Structure 1
């Protein structure tokens, strides 16, 4: 892997993830790349914003799930206050779920945590060097939405869902029951049921059968 294309100095990277184990692994990958060094770590939105001010990093690598905080909201805030910051999302969620949302929020790239270290290194190099890192599938989907005049993010009901609601909506569309979702997300079935009610209101359906139909249609549409 070539050194990072920031002439004359090492690029500083802020890691934002609420899982210390993943941060440690990511830090090892970054520090073994020429021209990059981790300057700070954060596990929530507030600490990340403070680190942006105090450390002035060149790049931020951020997860979307930050406990009670929103990685997308962090990206939006960071982009407003630090317009030249390079932002790479490293998420457990597949790109088809959140990739377009992340790019629209201001990210410069999106990679899944499950991807191998070589892909991560490539994403870091490209994003830090001023390029985008997204799959051809996501790029094509975004171009198709633009060309077809598809509803903007604020006009599409599914895009009003929070990260957790969208995660549950996706699991519903993949055939999981509330009990199975609760076990998978380590929350109570009552919490899942409350999210289901919020989702129904936001997307404009009145019963669980219609909710399941909409979720299945959504999942299938993203995989075309």
Structure 2
């Protein structure tokens, strides 16, 4: 009786890669208590899907075909309809998790994690918990996300979500062309983001920008 009446969690997937969306759906639909009821590749399409399907949980990537993952999380949270959000992204969790939490997200999994982490994360969040990796906890203990009132946090917090993604890519040693290709943006757009980052962080030269970005990604202060 209890198995028959058990609620099946309704889940949607918002990711800009079709193969990734399909892979998540295949994995999730193997679970008898979970069902993927829709998929989308961009922010606007994802929000329309959520309004239509009223899912229990949305899986969201930070980098989307159209729009921005954190902006989508804010929109979902503002609806106050009970839809919870689990982020699965290739971006560094320690750099982005605080923004995900502030936007209303309940968990974060790096795409390099083992597939079973996805199911664990979904189950934890559906039962009212938060799901973040040990890397985030370790990063907080080492102060990688800074502390209130420090210059490094003030500078980083002034960056938009897209600028922070570019900043992370610079810190990982990628060239402007590599960043543009990875983010499906033009070189000109990336250059504009880099100029905005330098202005917001008070940096004059490209070499300084690379140094600051590398230090931040590796856990040092700005």
| Aligned ranges 1:70-219 → 2 under 5 Å | 70-82=68-80, 84-139=82-137, 141-142=139-140, 150-151=148-149, 156-185=154-183, 187-219=185-217
Q: Which whole-Å deviations, capped at 9, do the CAs of 1:121-178 have from their partners, x for residues lacking one?
A: 1111111221111023323545786xx85249xx622123233322221232233333
Distance 1:16 1:177 in 2: 28
CA contact (8 A) 2:13 2:40 kept: yes
CA contact (8 A) 1:61 1:90 kept: yes
CA 40–174 in structure 1, closer or farther in 2 if over 3 Å, else same = closer
- For the residue of structure 2 that corresponds to 1:67, the secondary structure is coil
Match in the other structure for 2:41: 43
CA 122–210 in structure 1, closer or farther in 2 if over 3 Å, else same = same
Equivalenced residues, count: 214
TM-score, normalized by length of structure 1? 0.83
- Worse-matched range after superposition: 97-106 or 156-165: 156-165
Match in the other structure for 2:8: 10
CA contact (8 A) 2:63 2:183 kept: no
| Aligned ranges 1:16-27 → 2 under 5 Å | 16-27=14-25
- For the residue of structure 1 that corresponds to 2:108, the secondary structure is strand
**Structure 2 regions of 5+ residues with no counterpart?**
none
Shift of 1:185: 4.3
Shift of 1:75: 0.4
Shift of 1:203: 1.6
Q: Which whole-Å deviations, capped at 9, do the CAs of 1:40-84 have from their partners, x for residues lacking one?
A: 212222222222222111111111111230100010111111252
Over the aligned positions, Cα root-mean-square deviation in angstroms equals 2.6
CA contact (8 A) 2:8 2:35 kept: yes
Alignment partner of 1:32 out of 22, 30, 33: 30
Distance 2:92 2:142 in 1: 20
CA contact (8 A) 1:94 1:112 kept: yes
TM-score, normalized by length of structure 2? 0.84
- For the residue of structure 2 that corresponds to 1:69, the secondary structure is coil
Distance 1:185 1:45 in 2: 15
